[in-house]
């Protein structure tokens, strides 16, 4: 659902005055100004005022804001849960009961002027396909834009995102490359990781050289782009499962001293719910592990902290 003219609904707590706009000047009071009660587009306070208004409204509808992700609201009616994701004035509604979803839509329509856009198909660059069997999410169109913007649209695809045992260093003596272009490509690839766990390690690895990228770093990025070119249609599938078949399973792993500059290890984490990946991470560890066993323990601890943070435990 989409809120029409969302920022105009925000209540201002500060005193804000504006000049009388052309065409609406009060005769005899040309020297006076208007005191705003509601926010207007263009005000610095408008986004915050709208967010506060929406938050107040959803809380009045008995929703609870997620403590770890403030853009997620949930409501439990005793039988089924309703989840609402907020992005400025767009609402993504997820629920097991169609009646609950219809009731919430009516509540929102009574509070604001709304547009019902139907089933979710495209949201923030993520393509969504829903069927009776489940839901498929991908970023094929976004991947194609990355390839086009980087000049790799017609490249030959490869089978792996990164060469085995590739070691790159910040102390490389290769020629420097355009840092702005490098950062733009890597930043775009990082957003692609939202639906591509297979890219997490490779993209995280080349992200370490954003400060001063060199020719060998760019070569690694181009291999990732060649891999993306051959797997643009790949995504994540979430199949419908009975409640008894839903089980949370997590894995963690690490290398040992994979960073040749700081001698730090890399942690890899992925969690599955009903055999479908729901969260993943690849990151350089914050401390230097003195053995492969210690690196594994650090990875396991990071995995436990991640799932506890996601579940709010």
In angstroms and rounded to an integer, the radius of gyration of the C-alpha atoms of the chain is 24
Question: Could you say which residues of the chain have pLDDT below 70?
Answer: 242-245, 309-313
Model pLDDT, residue 151:
93
Model pLDDT, residue 81:
86
From CA 139, how far away is CA 129, in angstroms rounded?
11
Q: What is the reported pTM?
A: 0.84
In three-state form (DSSP H/G/I as H, E/B as E, the rest C), the secondary structure along the chain is: CEECCHHHHCECCCCCEEECCCCCCCCCCCCCEEECCECCCCCCCHHHHHHHHHHHHHHHCCCEECCCCCCEEEEECCCCEEEEEEECCEEEEEECCHHHHHHHHHHHHHHCCEECCCCCCEECCEEEEECCCEEEEECHHHHHHHHHHCCCCCCCCCCCCCCCCCCCCCCCCCCECCHHHHHHHHHHHHHHCCCCHHHHHHHHHHHHHCCCCEHHHHHHHHHHHHHHHHCCCCEEEEECCCHHHCCEEEEEEECCCCCCCCCCCEEEEEEEECCEEEEEEEEECCCCCCCHHHHHHHHHHHHHHHHHHHHCC
Model pLDDT, residue 294:
95
Model pLDDT, residue 313:
55
Beta partners for 134?
239
Q: Please, are residues 62 and 51 in contact by the beta-carbon 8 Å criterion?
A: no
Nearest Cα to 206, choosing from 312, 194, 195, 193?
A: 193
* Each residue's pLDDT tens digit, 193-237: 999 999 999 999 999 999 999 999 999 999 999 999 999 999 999
Nearest Cα to 222, choosing from 162, 268, 170?
A: 162
Model pLDDT, residue 21:
83
């Amino acid at each position: 659902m989409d809120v029409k003219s969302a920022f105009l609904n925000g209540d201002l707590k500060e005193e804000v005055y504006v000049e009388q706009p052309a065409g609406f000047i009060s005769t005899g009071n040309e020297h006076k100004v208007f005191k705003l009660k509601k926010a207007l587009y263009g005000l610095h306070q408008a986004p915050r005022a709208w967010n506060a208004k929406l938050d107040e409204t959803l809380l009045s509808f008995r929703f609870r804001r997620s403590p770890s992700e403030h853009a997620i609201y949930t409501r439990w009616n005793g039988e089924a849960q309703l989840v609402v994701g907020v992005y400025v004035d767009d609402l993504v509604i997820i629920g097991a009961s169609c009646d609950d979803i219809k009731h919430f839509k009516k509540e929102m329509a009574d509070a604001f002027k709304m547009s019902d856009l139907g089933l979710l198909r495209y949201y923030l660059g993520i393509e969504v396909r829903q069927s009776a069997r489940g839901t498929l999410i991908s970023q094929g169109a976004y991947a194609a834009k990355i390839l086009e913007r980087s000049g790799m649209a017609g490249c030959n695809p490869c089978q792996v995102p990164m060469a085995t045992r590739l070691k790159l260093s910040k102390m490389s003596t290769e020629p420097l490359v355009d840092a702005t272009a490098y950062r733009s490509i890597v930043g775009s690839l990082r957003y692609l990781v939202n639906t591509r766990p297979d890219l997490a390690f490779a993209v995280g690895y080349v992200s370490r050289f954003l400060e001063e990228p060199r020719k060998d770093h760019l070569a690694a990025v181009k291999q990732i782009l060649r891999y993306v070119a051959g797997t643009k249609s790949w995504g994540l599938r979430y199949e419908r499962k009975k409640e008894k078949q839903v089980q949370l399973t997590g894995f963690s792993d690490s290398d040992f001293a994979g960073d040749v500059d700081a001698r730090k290890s890399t942690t890899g984490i992925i969690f599955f719910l009903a055999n479908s990946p729901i969260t993943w991470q690849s990151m350089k560890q914050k401390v230097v592990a003195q053995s492969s066993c210690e690196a594994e323990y650090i990875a396991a601890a990071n995995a436990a902290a991640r799932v506890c943070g996601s579940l709010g435990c």
